[in-house]
Structure 1
Amino acid sequence: MFKNIKDSQVTITELMLPAHSNFSGKIHGGYILNLMDQIAFACASKHSRHYCVTASVNRVDFLNPIEVGELVTLKASVNYTGRTSMVIGVRVEAENIQTGKKKHCNSSYFTMVAKDENGKNVHVPGIILDSEQSIRRFSRSITRQEQAKDRTSAFKATEFKMEDYLEVLKKHNAKVLL
């Protein structure tokens, strides 16, 4: 079974309140991460029609601070489908209500796994790739997965060669005492 990407897309908008701010008066990154996880869950569950759990989050860069009083809009879309998992792309934008100016605050990729009522992984529907953008996003997810496998294996304790990194470490803010 295959589903159209647009049928699972989710958008939420929320007003940022003082209770969401950190000590510097900006919206707390943890609060935004919580919202991102919620919308990724909603999108994945809508696509799979099952309860979903977060398996991983691929890189979250906070590009612009979010101010109290701004409207934050989160958009989620299925970028990739595996056998039991999905990669959900999440985009966060903030809008100044008074000026109407919008800014991209961050984007991230959540890998979500569909579960049945007993907590076992279940198959998810595939997605229909009907645009160059959808093919690009799907392909980027495949590449990201391959790069993650390479990173993981290169630094396994059994594979790691310290000698290969000692020169590199000299260029960084660290002191090696062996």
Structure 2
Amino acid sequence: MMSSFKTARESRLSITELMLPSHSNFGGKVHGGYILNLMDQIAFACASKHSQRYCVTASVNRVDFLNPIEVGELVTLKASINYTGRTSMVVGVRVESENVTSGERKHCNSSYFTMVAKDEKGKSVPVPGLILTDQQGVRRFARSKIRKQQAFKRSTEFEESKFDHHAYLPELEGENVRLNLK
């Protein structure tokens, strides 16, 4: 039987993988797409563990690559449920690299994956709520809620049928753009 509320600790996951030459891009660093794939996998596993359901990725909020990852380094990904809605969850994913010879560690990325729980027919289903046990949990939950509200505001503000381009022309001053409007 599925619990109606769970702590983040109950579904927290971590994986560590050695970066191989086959993971590198043309510049000799680990390919960002490979890291994104690992991030999506751990977000899926964390959300599925929390909801006890198959989950799909609905969105990824901001992916900033802070430090390059070298071939031969260990990469650790940590995932935790930060927010629960009715059928969706926000999974925070942190990526760190470690040079195995020097022991130097670097924070490489933090991203937020919105995952939706699905039933056998592909229909969205309710997920257990989140039990917040500390200030960090409250901060993460509140930040995710605000981020969700801001994303909704952005998507409606720029909806084609409602968008007034005249209001944004001053925003384009000083930008690398030339207007040739008809």
TM-score past 0.5 threshold: yes
Question: What is the rounded CA distance, in whole Å, between the counterparts of 1:172 and 1:160 in structure 2?
Answer: 20
Instruction: Tell me the alpha carbon deviations over residues 112-154 of structure 1, each in whole angstroms, 9 at most, x when there is no partner.
Output: 0001111111111111100000000000011001101111111
Question: What is the rounded CA distance, in whole Å, between the counterparts of 2:115 and 2:170 in structure 1?
Answer: 39
1:43 partnered with 2:46: yes
Deviates further, 165-174 or 81-90: 165-174
Question: What is the rounded CA distance, in whole Å, between the counterparts of 1:171 and 1:154 in structure 2?
Answer: 23
Given candidates 132, 137, 140, the residue that maps to 1:137 is 140
Offset of residue 98 of structure 1: 0.4
RMSD: 0.7
Question: What is the rounded CA distance, in whole Å, between the counterparts of 1:125 and 1:170 in structure 2?
Answer: 48
Task: Name stretches of at least 5 consecutive residues in structure 1 with no aligned partner.
Answer: none
Offset of residue 167 of structure 1: 2.4
Ranges of 4+ aligned residues in structure 1 off by more than 3 Å: none
Task: Name stretches of at least 5 consecutive residues in structure 2 with no aligned partner.
Answer: none
Question: What is the rounded CA distance, in whole Å, between the counterparts of 1:168 and 1:126 in structure 2?
Answer: 41
Helix, strand or coil at the partner of 1:23: coil
1:11 partnered with 2:18: no
> Pairwise mapping of residues 99-114 of structure 1 onto structure 2 (< 5 A)?
99-114=102-117
Question: What is the rounded CA distance, in whole Å, between the counterparts of 1:46 and 1:150 in structure 2?
Answer: 30
When normalised by structure 1's length, the TM-score is 0.98
Question: What is the rounded CA distance, in whole Å, between the counterparts of 2:134 and 2:170 in structure 1?
Answer: 46
Helix, strand or coil at the partner of 1:97: coil
Helix, strand or coil at the partner of 1:165: helix
Question: What is the rounded CA distance, in whole Å, between the counterparts of 1:139 and 1:7 in structure 2?
Answer: 20
> Pairwise mapping of residues 137-176 of structure 1 onto structure 2 (< 5 A)?
137-176=140-179
Map of 2:34 onto structure 1: 31
Map of 1:53 onto structure 2: 56
Offset of residue 168 of structure 1: 2.0
Given candidates 81, 84, 103, the residue that maps to 1:81 is 84
Instruction: Tell me the alpha carbon deviations over residues 60-113 of structure 1, each in whole angstroms, 9 at most, x when there is no partner.
Output: 000000000000000000000111110000000000000101000000000000
Offset of residue 158 of structure 1: 1.6
Residue identity matched to 1:115? K
How many correspondences in the alignment? 178
Offset of residue 165 of structure 1: 1.7
Given candidates 118, 121, 129, the residue that maps to 1:118 is 121
Question: What is the rounded CA distance, in whole Å, between the counterparts of 1:7 and 1:153 in structure 2?
Answer: 35
Helix, strand or coil at the partner of 1:98: coil
Helix, strand or coil at the partner of 1:148: helix
